[in-house]
Amino acid sequence: MARFSATHPWWVIISSLLITVFFGFMIETRLKIEPNWIDLVPRYDKSVQEFTTITSNFGSATPIILAIENDDKQKLKAIALEVAHDLERMTNFFRRVEVSVDKDFFYNHAFMLEKTSQLKQAKDTMNNFDLLPYLRNMNDSFEKTYIGGESDLGDDELQVVRGINSLVDLLGSMNHSFEQDDPGQWGRSQADQGVEDMLYQFSADQKMVLITILPLSPVSDLDVIMEFVPELNKEIDTIKAKYPGTRMRMTGMHIVSHDEMASMEGDTMVLTLIAFIIILLTFVVVFKMWGAPLLAMLSLMLGIIWDLGITALTIGRLNLMTSMTAVILIGLGVDYFVHIISGYTEGKKEGLSTPEACVYSMDKVGTGVFIGGLTTAIAFFILGFSKMQMFKELGIVLGTGIVATMLVSFLLLPAFLSAFLKDKKKERPQWLKIVLTILAVITIIPGILILTQKIAEKISHHRQGDASEVFSRWGKTTTRKPVFILITIAVVSVVFGVTMFFNKMDSNLMNIEDQSLDSIVLQREVVKRYGLSDTALIYTTSNIQQSQAIAEQLEDNKLVRMVNSLASYIPSGKNQQQRLPYLRQIQAGLRAYTPSTRIDPTALSNEIDRLDMNLRELSQMATLGGQKLLEQRLESLLSNGSSYSQSRDALIRKLASENTDSLGRFQQAYGQVMKKTYLGMATPQLITRQDLPASVLDTYINKQGTRYLNYVYSKTDLWENTADSPFILGVREIAPQATGMPVLVQVLLREGGREGRKAIGWSLLAIVILLLIDFKNVKHTLIAIIPLVLGFIWMLGILPLTTRPMDIMMMMIIPLIIGIGIDDGVHILHRYRKEGDNMPRILGTTGNALFLTTFTTMIGFGSLMFAKMEGLRSMGIILFIGIGACYIITVSVLPTLLHLMDKKKNGGH
């Protein structure tokens, strides 16, 4: 093949370019990049099927969360309403935009939705809104709550915070009532606002409000996501411009997927370029020329285009793992070119012509390259038989890539060398110059090449020895101190064999994303500021009774923050019946209440003091009870100079020194509004389906009316410790059908681990068989495998020393090391079988080339460490370590063992 290419270069070059143009066209028209982890999840799993069923019934069951921040709560509400109004028009993308609870429904049925135990308390506290009895009732309630244990603070943390916020707001309104021209009007507006605030999803500090957007398309539909997210961003930017000082950010899986894609697109291009440039520089420095390295890199790029073209024709997409194919193949494929150019330069040194040097090179290294490449390709292709789509695609794309780059190195490189690196300098035709210039331009910036060449010249000028001499000396050492080397490697392997057990698994999917993304930052902030996970588990039931029964059981789980379903709007018949008497009592209490203007300043001051003490005690209880949300909120409220502290002090001062008529009029008006509103909220009437707003029915029931959707929210970040989440375990004990993104991550980890182990086993077996066929020698086969096995241990043992935990991306990429790590050993053994026990020579020639191939491969993968996405960095780190470890073991253990074997065979001589 090489002879034909070297003697008929233009045939080969033109045909190859035609093929490349064809594949380039295929890539452009058919290849999609879908770096979405959801596509990696095996579809055969029941949880995945349930997830798919839910998305087909309800569109997207995973909402987008839009967070708006502003220090002014009332402004925040107005902006939220405007944003929601604008987004509702994007009906081609969104099913529902929810900014608040349906006002009519809430004002008529709010109390029926409260827990019976809370209503029991409310009947004593919600019957008088005159400030003194109201504050006294609230203080009594606080003390009962945390001293009497009538309700676990942790269960209703956000609810407690909201209660405190409304009381603090009331103190502020009371304080300002002294300065109002019309305190009555002020009282009415403050009461209205206070009740209305309950409709919105304010954060604990009241500076953030959330809008929930339900997209029509599922999170797996990247095309639609890439279409609507930029539009959404544009819309939000327009509104944001109108309100300076307002911050708007989005999160949710749709946004994360979009941001992930955008981040990956940038990463792919930049990283490929970085890998390309560094490897080219290395090439130029090592071989002290730029013509052959440039042609090699050009051939490699064509090989990668072929691979991607075939991928476009077969799979049609690049997923999260395969989207980095170009970078991986630059690192892996360049090995073949290094070996061939190494042989070629050797041939040239011996005075051969370019075509003859090409043939010479193939003769020397061709078999090694072929077998090495074949073992790697087979190891990858074995992944193609995996049940998991992710491994399947990874195996096919990379296996094809290895074959393509190897084929190009055998076919195209000799042709390029023969065509462009003529032995006798003669004037090149004009058209050739043009082609060369175009090639140079497409490949790399010519300036970098010139600079590189200059650096190379400088380095080579100053270089004292030759790399091959270093490896040759190392070859001698391996024959002089074999036992020492083996013991050292064994000791290090034992140490890493121990440290590998210190690896920690990080199953948080958000940690593999670009940590600077707004969507990722916001995701964590929502958990902190709301005390609930932004992601929910979802399940469907066939009727509302089932939803009610499951919700009641789930609410007993200490890790469940809330269950959102139709049952949240229609409690079970039994619960409603239990609540009716309390609603009647509340209404009776309210009817008996006549708002007054009477103020007892001293008693009111005392109750304000008591409230303050309760808040301080509550703050200590929250610290001891681990209720972070409550603790932080109270800490901020109770700090010196906070608006609460100022209102409290001012109010006490005014109560002691000023006329309280204004406050009396405020109280009366406030009480009138509260009485009227709460009378409506406490309507003693059973809620039926007919009472529900259409938007609620649309959210929780499918179009056919056959499936009911339910969401369960965790109190803590559901992405943390997803693999062993007690929340998921607890929820699935009650609702085994519960699914959702975190469950899919569990499936991915479980199946990925299982399939990965299988893939490693099968790849290893395939390699053993191939090597047995090639070597026809069991001992040589086993020796070739040693670096792989020990390299694997070293890789896992070194990882904990970097303090980086094992993550999902590392776990998925680890099987690749089998295919990559075997290569070096195969080359050494091939050379050994040709040269015999001449380790200085073997390492002086092959060792040198192996160093370069390993170095370039490590650079290829190492460039991933510069990715913005943490998952890609993880891939880079683990493969960088793994390849380095396999190389060190190969050049240490293999020559030593082979030498000892020969020595034994020759009776110790």
Q: Does 149 sit near another protein (CB under 8 A)?
A: yes
Can residue 807 be called a binding residue for another protein (CB under 8 A)? Answer: no
Q: Give the nearer residue to another protein in terms of CB position, either 625 or 693.
A: 625
Interface with another protein, residue 779, by CB under 8 A? no
Instruction: Please identify which residue in the block is written with the tokens 């560094």.
Output: 278
Shortest Å, Cβ 148 to another protein: 4
Report the site for another protein in 24-63 (rule: CB under 8 A).
none
Of 624, 640, 703, 803, which lies in the binding site for another protein, with binding defined by CB under 8 A?
A: 624
Residues in region 531-570 near another protein by CB under 8 A: 557-559
Distance set, CA 415 to CA 24, 303, 365, 432, 481 (Å): 21, 14, 17, 14, 44
504 binds another protein (CB under 8 A): no
Q: Contact between 613 and another protein (CB under 8 A)?
A: yes
Interface with another protein (CB under 8 A), residue total: 30
730 lies in the binding site for another protein (CB under 8 A): yes
- Of 10-18, 210-218, 609-617, 850-858, the window that binds another protein (rule: CB under 8 A) is 609-617
Choose the stretch contacting another protein; rule: CB under 8 A; options: 9-17, 65-73, 616-624, 823-831. 616-624
116 part of the interface to another protein, by CB under 8 A: no
Q: What is residue 252's DSSP assignment? A: S
What amino acid is encoded at 395 in this protein? G
The only residue of 85, 148, 363, 422 in contact with another protein, by rule CB under 8 A = 148
CB of 51 to another protein, least distance (A): 24
Nearer to another protein, 102 or 143 (CB): 143
- Taking the least distance from each CB to another protein, the nearer of 469 and 733 is 733
Q: Does 89 bind another protein (CB under 8 A)?
A: no
The residue (of 104 and 733) whose beta carbon lies closer to another protein is 733
∠ at Cα 117 (114, 123), nearest 5°? 80
Rounded distance between C-alpha atoms, residue 84 and residue 211, angstroms = 7
Helix (H) or strand (E) holding 619: helix 601-625
Q: Which of 190, 210, 213 is nearest to 200 (CA)?
A: 210
CA gap 311, 400 in Å, rounded = 8
Q: And the tokens for 72?
A: 């002014």
505-506 and 247-251 beta bridge pairing: unpaired
* Complex with another protein: residue 620 or 636, whichever CB lies closer: 620
Q: Which stretch binds another protein (CB under 8 A): 720-728, 822-830, 844-852, 876-884?
A: 720-728
Q: Counting contacts by CB under 8 A, is residue 736 touching another protein?
A: no
* Among 579, 715, 780, 830, contact with another protein (rule: CB under 8 A): 715
Binding span for another protein by CB under 8 A among 206-214, 399-407, 718-726, 778-786 = 718-726
Q: Which is nearer to another protein, 61 or 608 (CB)?
A: 608
Beta strands 32-34 and 317-319 are parallel
Q: Which of 56, 515, 594, 620 binds another protein (CB under 8 A)?
A: 620
Q: Which amino acid is at 297?
A: M
CA angle 356, 358, 359 (to 5 degrees): 65
Beta strands in 282-399 (DSSP E): 317-319
Residue with tokens 């780059």: 405
Nearest Cα neighbor of 399 from 871, 815, 853, 33 is 815
Shortest Cβ distance from residue 170 to another protein (Å)? Answer: 21
Decide: 348 and 338 in contact? Cβ < 8 Å: no
628 vs 804, beta carbon nearer another protein: 628
Q: How far is the CB of 652 from another protein (least distance, A)?
A: 16
Of 264, 321, 308, give the one whose Cα is nearest residue 756: 321
Classify residue 202 as left (phi > 0), alpha (psi -120 to 50) or beta.
beta
For 49, the 3-state DSSP assignment is helix
Q: How far apart are CA 509 and CA 517, in angstroms?
A: 14
Token duo for residue 419: 């065509």
Candidates 147, 450, 490, 769: give the one binding another protein (CB under 8 A): 147
Stretch that binds another protein, among 149-157, 316-324, 591-599, 885-893 (CB under 8 A): 149-157
- Interacting residue with another protein among 266, 726, 736, 836 (CB under 8 A): 726
At its nearest, how many Å lie between another protein and the CB of residue 726? 4
Instruction: Tell me which of 619, 846, 853, 856 binds another protein, using CB under 8 A.
Output: 619
| Residue nearer to another protein on the CB measure, 616 or 653 | 616
In sequence order, what are the residues at sequence separation of 6 or more whose Cβ sits closer than 8 angstroms to the Cβ of residue 177?
183, 186, 187, 662, 663, 665, 666
Q: Given the complex with another protein, which of 287 and 727 has the nearer CB atom? A: 727
Pick the piece of the chain touching another protein (CB under 8 A) from 317-325, 334-342, 477-485, 622-630.
622-630
> Of residues 658, 724, 802, 836, which one binds another protein by CB under 8 A?
724
CA dihedral (624, 627, 632, 633) in degrees, to 10, reads -120
| The binder of another protein chosen from 124, 140, 143, 600 (CB under 8 A) | 143
What residues contact 570, with CB distance under 8 A and at least 6 apart?
544, 548, 687, 688, 689, 692
Choose which of 716, 737, 777, 838 interacts with another protein (CB under 8 A): 716
Residue 117 binds to another protein (criterion: CB under 8 A) = no
Helix (H) or strand (E) holding 672: helix 661-681
Return phi, psi of residue 712, to 5°: -120, 125
Report if residue 717 touches another protein, rule: CB under 8 A: yes
Choice from 513, 720, 755, 823 touching another protein (CB under 8 A): 720
Please state, in angstroms and rounded to a whole number, the distance separating the CA atoms of residues 748 and 756: 11
Q: For residues 45 and 720, which CB has a smaller minimum distance to another protein in the complex?
A: 720
In three-state form (DSSP H/G/I as H, E/B as E, the rest C), the secondary structure along 742-788 is HHHHHHHHHHHHHHHHHHHHHHHHHHHHHHHHHHCCHHHHHHHHHHH
Pair 375, 788: CB distance under 8 Å: no
Q: Could you tell me where the beta strands, DSSP code E, fall in 284-360?
A: 317-319
Does 628 interact with another protein (rule: CB under 8 A)? yes
Tokens at residue 278, please?
């560094």
- The Cβ of residue 803 has, within 10 Å, a number of other Cβ atoms equal to 7
Distance CA 723, CA 502 (A): 17
Q: At what angle do helices 778-798 and 816-835 cross, to 10 degrees?
A: 140
> What number of other Cβ atoms are within 10 A of residue 82's Cβ?
15
Q: Shortest gap between Cβ of 731 and another protein (angstroms)?
A: 11
Q: Which is nearer to another protein, 9 or 531 (CB)?
A: 531
CB closer to another protein, 101 vs 158: 158
Show the site string, 399-418: x = touches another protein by CB under 8 A, - = not: --------------------
Tell me how far, at minimum, the Cβ of 802 lies from another protein, in Å. 22
Given the rule CB under 8 A, which residues bind another protein?
143, 147-150, 152, 557-559, 613, 616-617, 619-621, 623-626, 628, 715-717, 720-721, 724-727, 730
